[in-house]
Structure 1
Amino acid sequence: MASQWGEDPRIRSREHAVSLKTAAEPQQQEPSENAGASLRELPRWMHLYLYGMHGVTLDVLLSSLQGVVTNRDPKLVGFSSPYLCIMHALTHFALEKIYSQKKCFQGRPVVFHLVFYPSVYIGLQILIGNINTLTEQVRVVSGTQLVVHYILALYFSQVFHRGLAHLQYHPDCRCADLWRSLSGPDRPSCGLPGFVRFIFFGMHGFLDEVLFTSMFNLVENSDGTLSGHTSLWSFLMYGSCSFVVEKLYFHLHFGRGWGTWRRLPIYICFIYTWEFCWGLVLRQFDACSWDYSHYPHNFMGLITLLYLPGWVILSLYQDVLSNVLLRIRCTRGLECVGGENGEVNGQLESKKK
């Protein structure tokens, strides 16, 4: 009797502890297995979107730098068009397929990265530059342009394609759950870093302004070339503004449960304030690229209510972009999701092989 009374509680407590441990283990492994199973490569439409937007950014950057060298213009205005956006998307999608064939150059990576890929890249860029004037005359490419194209080819093969290969898409999980998993204090983030989101929003600002100004030139000036323009300062302005608006979206929508029409006035007030402050500072250095003095309902020529519908549309679209970026994961940091055993990372590596 004494032995039974003395041993039974210990045995029962041990059995209870073991049962709790075994019951808890599947719950810890299940999220990481589900996370690894639902992670996929970026969709094709997302590749095309990124390539087109990135191509417009390069157009604006190169043309604005050329303007600085020739005219010393502090406005840093650059040019592109919707046509070039589509061409960049298609050509870089083709270059992605060519980059995926680097495995055929095993043992000769220098030949692929320094000779083959740059040659194809330069050839496609020359074709794009001549496609408008091909029926009239072939445009001669200068030595400086060849050097620039070669440097860009190295950038794409060594930086851009490699970075894109580390991104995975998470389409099967709710955005609210993804936000909580990334913002939790006990779990390090595997989402896109803040500087990458800033760069994305800055490039998207370039795309927005080029599309808007090209449509404006078509309607007002009957410009059939669909040439649009923006400024390098817009990259900083749009990137920082959208970055803050995204934080507002996460806090107000996921944190407080505010609906779209309750958040929208806050977005609009912040956007107008941001545009006015940036314009006021840039005007002091004669670097402000916009002037709304001839528009109705303007204030100091820096903001106007005439563009309110456009800002509303962009604010709503901003939430869509934030949800898309929320679903993107960096595979380099997936060990924080897979736990100590790194199960998710192992699954992804096995899939790649």
Structure 2
Amino acid sequence: MCVKDAEQVCQEMEDLDDSNNKKTWPLLCGGDFLCCQMENWDDKDSAVAMVGGSTRVSIQTSFPLESISEDAVATDKKHNVLTNFVPTLRSGEWSDIGGRAYMEDTHICIADLAKNFGCNLMSEEPVSFYGVFDGHGGKGASHFVRDHLPRVIVEDAGFPLELEKAVTRSFMATDAAFAKSCSLESALVSGTTVLTAIILGRSLLVANAGDCRAVLSRHGTAIEMSKDHRPCCMKEKRRIESLGGFIDDGYLNGQLGVTRALGDWHLEGMKETGERVGPLSAEPELKMMTLTKEDEFLIIGSDGIWDVFTSQNAIDFARRRLQEHNDVKLCCKEIVEEGMKRGATDNLTVVLVSFHLEPPPSSVIQRARVRRSISAEGLQSLKCLLEG
């Protein structure tokens, strides 16, 4: 940290005033993928603009001049350590048929999405793509979405500058394409839940339609990056009823255990074409986050995993295994095997993305000192017990 002389500060403030206080928020700038919805962006008065391939940063002049203190310097150092973080991605995956007669889960891991489909980006940073697809009624829908959704995202006009819009449109477009392309009845009668995670620079975007789940480990604390779309969710229940649907015995229209999915076009009254919208939605819910050094890894799992693991329990289990061997693929295998030991009856699929080369650090739990005492009644009971 340096202190500028008064003349230089005044000159810079005059230059900043000429910016007319305009704010522009592109998604791609200087190697970082930015979004106005970023949860960890603390400086609400900053704006970034791309001008002729260069970066212009404008800062509003409403900030007060503050004296420099040791506490402020320490806070700045901690902030820089957290935000000046470049994740090093490692991924692993594992799946098992579990207690089912057929395997309907599938998954995908693509280290560089744009390069994989021949798309050239301004940024040298790769766009990493991970997905878990939990099929039902057959594997037709889950395999179709796995094979087509990544390309549809890359070919969307908003990729990657308007990534959130591109992902949402791609979910809907892939769902419509599945309905049109199915010539085999066995494929048409299937559906799939979909959860994808895209990482560009320090930014993580999770898109979910269904009951797969993504959970982030932040220094050992579970941060849920998605919400399960099930009929018991009050928000989903209100959406369904507003569209003419209903919940019967915990099932959407008495037929389906999830409220968002791709496919399932064969179910009457679930999806409508044209202006009418059915209660079963293919539109994903999105969550964006800026990764910091405290973010350790992301777990993406089909609902077979979450039937036997809580979010925090899965983070604790994976963290211990990574501390033992630091092998992300082996860790996924151990999560699936543990799920089967716990009596999982569904297909199980898990993808784990680590943001560090090193294993997660050990957590030091501070235990408060508790003064223990025994009541008079307890003391009398103990005395009688000893005396026989």
Structure with more helix by fraction: 1
TM-based fold match above 0.5: no
TM-score normalised by the chain length of structure 1 = 0.32
Structure with more strand by fraction: 2
Relative contact order (C-alpha < 8 Å, sep 6+): which is higher? 1
